A and B are shown apart, each in its own frame.
Chain A
Amino acid sequence: MTLLSIRDVSRRFGGIQAVDNVSFDVPHGAITAVIGPNGAGKTTLFHLISGFLRPDRGSVVFGGAEILGLMPHQIAAKGMARTFQQTRLFPKMTVLENILVGRHLHSRGGFVACMLHLPFTRREERAVREAGREILEFLGLSGQADAEAVRLSYGQQRMVELGRALACEPRVLLLDEPAAGLNMRETAEMGRLISRIRERNVTILLVEHDMSLVMDISDEIVVLSYGQKIAEDVPSAIQRDPEVIRIYLGEGDA
């Protein structure tokens, strides 16, 4: 069953066709990876899907509805959460507070209710904090709940960002290079974490450089090169694909 369907999506920046007629489906409950060399258009594609950029043409259908042209927060409200290539944690906020922002869509208190601290916002705040602590436990970061998020180690910051997205209870989670800047041990840990997230019935679409991670955890891999999709298959087939080997290892060098 297809949860997210990308159809003929294109985006040009000046003279560069960053994403060129890309189509693929993200099946429900699976981990789909988008790989490709630097500048292949992976991150641009992510921005197009999550509403941070507008495509020149194409269509993105999520859960049966067109989401192209919606604002990022509207797309988030439909059940899509994302992380960023460069961690975008909220500075001056604790680890727990960062996670709690992820509960925004699952609480309702508005300006007036919050200023008056009404009984329903009190109940809501308790529920939000409980959900936040549950996420921290899932990440194994309960001990750091009250630490300033940006003071954690880089690997832990990436986990917090992932936890924040998870707190949205998304149907699909977009991870933009979750292993970027992580060492081998941290990368393996991240891989295990992503697999455990899938077990929570979250569909995952990720962009990644780290081949070992992608090959380990993905069900389906989409390969981009110069903005175009050049392959789409299961990991074992992608590993043997001569075209993929050529663009990754370079012509003649292999």
Chain B
Amino acid sequence: MRKQAIQIAGFAAVVAGIQLLTSLTGNVYHLTQLTMSAYYSLVVLGLCILTGYAGQISIGHAGFFAIGGYLSALLTTHDWSAHGGPVVSGLAAAGILARRPDLYGGELLSVHPWPACILAVLAAVAVAYAIGGPVLKLKGHYLAMATLGFGIIVYRIVLGTALVGAADGIYDVPAFPLLPGVAVSGNSSLRVINFYVAWGFVILGMVFLMNLVRSRVGRALASIHGAEDAAEAMGIPTARFKLKIFVVSAAFAAVAGVLLTHYNGGIGPSESSVMKSVRYLAIVAVGGMANLWGALFMSLILNYLSLRGYFGSFDDAVFGVILILIMLFAHEGLLRRQLLDQIRGAVIRRGGGDDP
């Protein structure tokens, strides 16, 4: 427990250090990509617990991200002021619909970001429940293909639906007022606070998942990964546990989708593309599969490099190649615990330790 608190505190210090470094060197604009990396990291962490720990692969997580992001974007931008009637005025009176100025100086009546966010995440959770039941009966390549299929379906729906802007996506998404004075927004005056908000969400998610991994449920998930029949014989309802962790994982992706959409002020179909799902999976793999910290650091670094454009036009290819190389040469992940232990052991030996 103490070790976990130290790790979290250390990571918070790294986050604060990055902010100070960018401010002191006058590179505050880097915080924008680092904030976006944080939200993508939420997806990665959720996928890490599902694939790395519970052993259930998903190549469709961009789909859950998109359901969250698109639904929140749609609800908070769709204008109801032209629609009269008791339902609309009732929702407005209840604060669910709120008036705000639009880009052109007019006024717009749309769903407040809070109820929109809750609805969007619930929708993603409901979809995860619905497809998780049948899909999680599959194993290995078949599960991978089924989740891939789900991701493609979401992508094609988003791309082909005029209501959500088809190829243009949805823009003019308002800021998300989290607390008085704190809003998730891409406004450059809120850049520093948004950097901390985003990484605050990541740290919160990290605490939740680290608690889970070390718990009864975490052991049950790892046992499903290790030997499903033996887990079942220990009284673990494997199908139910797989479904629940799938839903938890989808909820992480959906929350990330909602928050990043409000931060960016919009969302486009590329967020639901298969290559995004591949990217998340590649990061989990290179992070060491069952290694939350590995996934988090890899996500921070690779997403940041990608968003800063270091991979140029090879952006998607980089992640595809990473995934292929990991599957070929280190299919249990790169930064896995055993490897780190071996390195540590070698260093201790060389340093004159007496323990072989």
Contact = CB atoms under 8 A, between A and B. Distances in A.
A231 to B, nearest CB: 29
Contacts, number: 106
B233 A101 contact: no
B229 A76 contact: no
A97 B219 contact: yes
Contacts of B103: none
B230 A168 contact: no
A117 B235 contact: no
Contacts of A105: 234-235
B218 interface: yes
Q: How large is the interface on B (under 10, 10 to 19, 20 to 34, 35 or more residues)?
A: 20 to 34
A42 interface: no
A117 B222 contact: no
A107 interface: yes
Contacts of B212: 111, 114-115
B208 A109 contact: no
A57 interface: no
Contact of A114 (B216, B231, B237): B216
A165 B227 CA distance: 14
Given A72-B232, A81-B234, A125 B215 contact: yes
A90 B232 contact: no
A84 B337 CA distance: 28
B217 interface: yes
Among B215, B229, B234, residue most surrounded by chain A Cβ atoms (within 10 Å): B234
A92 B291 CA distance: 12
Nearest to A52: B229
Given A90-B230, A107-B216, A115-B208, A73 B223 contact: no
Interface in B240-282: 244-245, 248
A76 B227 CA distance: 16
B217 A110 contact: yes
A192 interface: no
B232 to A, nearest CB: 4
Nearest to B237: A73
A12 interface: no
Given A107-B216, A109-B216, A114-B217, A81 B233 contact: yes
B334 interface: no
B222 A92 contact: yes
Contacts of B215: 109, 114-115, 117, 121, 125
Given A109-B217, A117-B215, A91 B232 contact: no
A107 B244 CA distance: 18
A184 B217 CA distance: 39
A100 B237 CA distance: 16
A43 to B, nearest CB: 13
A124 interface: yes
B228 to A, nearest CB: 9
Nearest to B232: A72
A93 B221 CA distance: 12
Interface string A67-105: 000011100110001101000111111000100111111
A104 B233 contact: no
A93 B234 contact: no
A164 interface: yes
Interface in A151-190: 164-165, 168
Given A111-B244, A115-B208, A121 B237 contact: no
A32 interface: no
A231 B215 CA distance: 47
Nearest to A97: B219
Contact of B216 (A84, A124, A164): A124
A72 B333 CA distance: 32
A30 B234 CA distance: 22
Contact of A104 (B211, B226, B235, B244): B235
A124 B211 CA distance: 14
Nearest to B248: A111
Contact of A116 (B208, B219, B235): B208
Given A90-B230, A104-B220, A115-B211, 7 more contacts: A52-B229, A73-B233, A90-B227, A100-B219, A109-B217, A111-B244, A121-B216
26 contacts: A72-B229, A73-B233, A73-B235, A76-B235, A77-B235, A81-B234, A84-B229, A84-B230, A88-B229, A88-B230, A88-B233, A89-B226, A90-B223, A101-B231, A104-B234, A110-B217, A111-B212, A111-B217, A114-B212, A114-B217, A115-B211, A115-B215, A117-B211, A124-B216, A165-B233, A168-B234
Interface of A: 50, 52, 71-73, 76-77, 81-82, 84, 88-93, 97, 100-105, 107, 109-111, 114-117, 121, 124-125, 128, 164-165, 168
